Structure 1
Amino acid sequence: MRYLLILFLLTSCSADSGSPESFNYPESKRERTNYNLHGTTVMDPYFYMEDFESPYVVEWSNQQNAFVESYLEGSEISTIQDILSEAYSSEYFSMSYFNPESEYYFYNSGSEQHHLYMKKGDAVILDPNLWSDDQTLNLDKVSVSPNKKYLAYSVSNGGVDWRTIKIMDLETNSNLDFEITEVKFSDISWKSDSSGVYYNKYPKPLPENRLSQQSYDAAIYFTDISTGQEELFYGE
């Protein structure tokens, strides 16, 4: 998707980008698929692309990326792409935050995911680059407890909207023995006494609907970190 976005932005600025008719686009198959939405039959020949992990969609995505790369490499736009790529891959330090005693910050060398550091000795607290060989596990939200003893953080898998929240003991740098699953579109907020966290969840989807289920009926939940027990705080 990043390459497609860059292509869109750059070709809009180029008068010699060529006509669409001259491009040999990767084929996108059409299927006879329809479904009922509030009493209306919706024809959706590309509904199969909702399954991001299917062999066809994975191969289609690879072909699209290869097509865009070949176009950029063969045009004057490649110079602009090199400039943007260099800027995108620059070394990055975030502002220090969370609390003045420990001074946490994010760091990125420019070629990987952000690490979460603690300034005292520059100790690495979280390194998502080590979570998966194919970089499909990513760090999303982070939140330090008011008593500065725990770190709550959410993890995304494969770029989907669903998240898993984990709680780390900052004295031992080890996770507590429970995880909070099926979190979606949510920050992480600590209770003032550091006893637990609040977050947003949606109804758990069936496995086959995990990527396509509509986001309705959100509710706020609370988990007590001493027990790992989850309870509904607000919603139905």
Structure 2
Amino acid sequence: MRASVKRRTKTQQDVQPETADVAEDVSDRIRATLAKAISEGALKPGSKILEDAIADHFGVSRTVVRGALGILEHDHLLERKRNRGSFVAAPSIEQAKELFEARRTMERLILELALGRASDADCDRLNAIIDREDAIHHGTDEKAKAELSGEFHIELARISGNGVLTELLEKVVARLALVMTLYEHEHHDDCGTDHHRAILDAVREKDLKRALHLMDEHLADVEGRVRLTQDHGDRHTFEAMLASFSPQ
């Protein structure tokens, strides 16, 4: 009897960490899936997050789902509304301005660090990203175009060697995808590919002054595509609602 009890206790102890690991792995996949859908515009600002559907799809409890949603809320990609659930965040005009300001500041510091540390292999990797951007932007795959969001800039941040700045930039770029969805009035497919190539040339030549000037121009171009007025944001939200509820 005692031996049986000991074996059963040991089995329970073995299963519990495994179950926790599985839940954590699924939680990560839920977060990654929703973050990707948000960044690519598949989930629009104001869209309700259906916890039951997520739980059924991933085969987990709603507790696990809520844990994943809580992290996305902490990253300001989702908003939890009392007694209503979680929704894709809709950044305010003030938040949009602050995000653009934060990005300008970080990108300049990242560029300065990257320029001093970039190897030929790093530059070749950036060039490969730009070539892929060119190929995709000349194609018709809209999903692939959306997936390019910020890739050049995130890779530049990795080259800078500062993990904190890289993580912060990833979060800012993700939130700016929501800003563009809400407030963009002049849509561009190319997302500054020519600018990226010019910036890379300056990085290869170790010309910091020119690289910073080009980055400033590039980010100003991106900001110039949005109209930060409440009416414009409301219109985009309303149009998203019409697209969701209109018969196909």
TM-score (norm: length of structure 1)? 0.25
Q: Which has the higher contact order (CA 8 A, sep 6+)?
A: 2
Higher strand share: 1
Pick the structure with more helix per residue: 2
